[in-house]
Amino acid sequence: MPNYRYRAIDAAGRLSRGTAMAFSEADIEERLRQKGLTLIVSRPVAANVFSGWVTGGRIKPRLLVELYHRLSQTLELGLPILSALEENARLLPSKALRKILNEVHIAIEGGSPLFDSMSRFPKVFSKLDLGIVRMGEQSGALPKCLKDLADFREWKENIKSILRRATIYPSFVITAILGVIGVWVGYVLPQMAVMLTDMGVALPGVTRIVLQVSLFARAYWPWLLGLALAVPAVLYLLQKTPKGGILMHRLVLRVPLVGNIAGNIALARLCHNFATMYRAGMNISSIFEILMDHVLGNRYLEDRLSQAFREIQLGQPVAAGFEKAGGFPPLLLGGIRNGETTGNLDDAFKRLGDYYDQEVKRTVQALVNALEPMSILLLGGVFGLIVLSILLPLYDVIGQFGQAY
């Protein structure tokens, strides 16, 4: 939506200048008239390179959670959608999100529904968000749908926060180990080895091995660095291909502990997304189309989900479709079958989502508990090897001095 720079006068003849968004010059003239201003002249503001970043850039997910919660509360109080958007736009700390809400506000004033107005910003509002908003508008339960959407997005952010916290300690330990190896093995040990060799001291086997590794790393470090960068790049490009992504994500699920975490996160996303969309009134086809669009975060399970959808399209029940597709745990299949039998499919997926949510937290905690002693043992082993490679030749030197005196 274009911006217009205008000049106008009020009833007292005072000049007013400003910038406003509008569909056309006639639209901005009408908007100014409603404010008691008479338009003198207006012209569109040319868009610059950075304007798309402001309106279509990345918005922090926590801000969207806050927005959906506030919209849900204000709509439940009976405020019309335009007043709710205007009120919440003033309270949000993000300038970019405020500008987006202003454009949504103007589009709704022009006769567009909330869903169409939000669809102009696909980088900010995901397909899941737009689908739930559309169902809320069509069913007349927009406040509840927005509340469910806010709760779901908050759950996603909590899971991300747990995973980020779980990686802090291992990252610190790995950085410390690399720093120790770089200083002692790359600089200190070679200097000591030269000095001891000049003194005629025979280097122990441990020292020679560590020294050879050090010399090899110093001689071929460009190749080693290139290999360290090339392997992740190749794996990244491989997982971008359809078959490569499915294969790699299937292998990830087989890694101990890490595979359990990745699988439980994908299943929790599946269940929470399904429950949220089903409660909003979306049909099965729309739900599966959104879920298969890289929502689960695991290509293999998304491939199995697409196979399940094909079985359901052929007339199979939901549980039977999942079972024939394969790749899903028996607990999930049993819960879906029970939900279909009792007619509470959304409740069944909600309970399954809560279960896998707890499993993610439990498995992450187990991984953290296992990483701490493993990291200490690894760090101690590296330090011990380096200390032995340095102290053993020093003991030989001290022994030679003792024999001389």
pLDDT band at 309 (very low <50, low <70, confident <90, very high): very high
CB 262 within 8 A of CB 364: no
How far apart (Å, rounded) are the C-alpha atoms in residues 75 and 370? 47
Place of tokens 């330090």: 383
Question: How many CA atoms does the CB half-sphere of 239 hold within 13 Å?
Answer: 15
Residue 56 has pLDDT above 50, yes or no: no
262 with 330, same domain: the answer is yes
252 with 399, same domain: the answer is yes
328 with 219, same domain: the answer is yes
The CATH number for 377's domain is 1.20.81.30
- Give the pLDDT confidence score for residue 262 in this predicted structure: 84
DSSP structure string for 318-361: HHHHHHHH--S-HHHHHHHHHHHHHT-HHHHHHHHHHHHHHHHH
Q: Which of 87, 118, 153 is the last residue of a domain?
A: 153
Q: Assess if residue 53 is contained within a domain.
A: no
CB 390 within 8 A of CB 189: yes
Q: Which domain, by its residues, includes 268?
A: 155-405
What average pLDDT is seen over the chain? 79
Q: Assess if residue 54 is contained within a domain.
A: no
69 with 130, same domain: the answer is yes
CB 393 within 8 A of CB 203: yes
State the total domains in the chain: 3
117 with 222, same domain: the answer is no
237 with 269, same domain: the answer is yes
229 with 272, same domain: the answer is yes
pLDDT digit string, tens, across residues 321-369: 999 998 899 999 999 999 988 888 889 998 998 898 888 888 877 777 7
- Give the pLDDT confidence score for residue 50 in this predicted structure: 43
105 with 76, same domain: the answer is yes
Residue 403 has pLDDT above 60, yes or no: no
Q: Assess if residue 327 is contained within a domain.
A: yes
**DSSP letter, residue 14:** -
72 with 135, same domain: the answer is yes
Q: Which of 124, 153, 182 is the last residue of a domain?
A: 153
pTM for the model stands at 0.63
pLDDT digit string, tens, across residues 92-134: 778 888 888 888 888 887 778 888 888 888 888 887 788 778 8
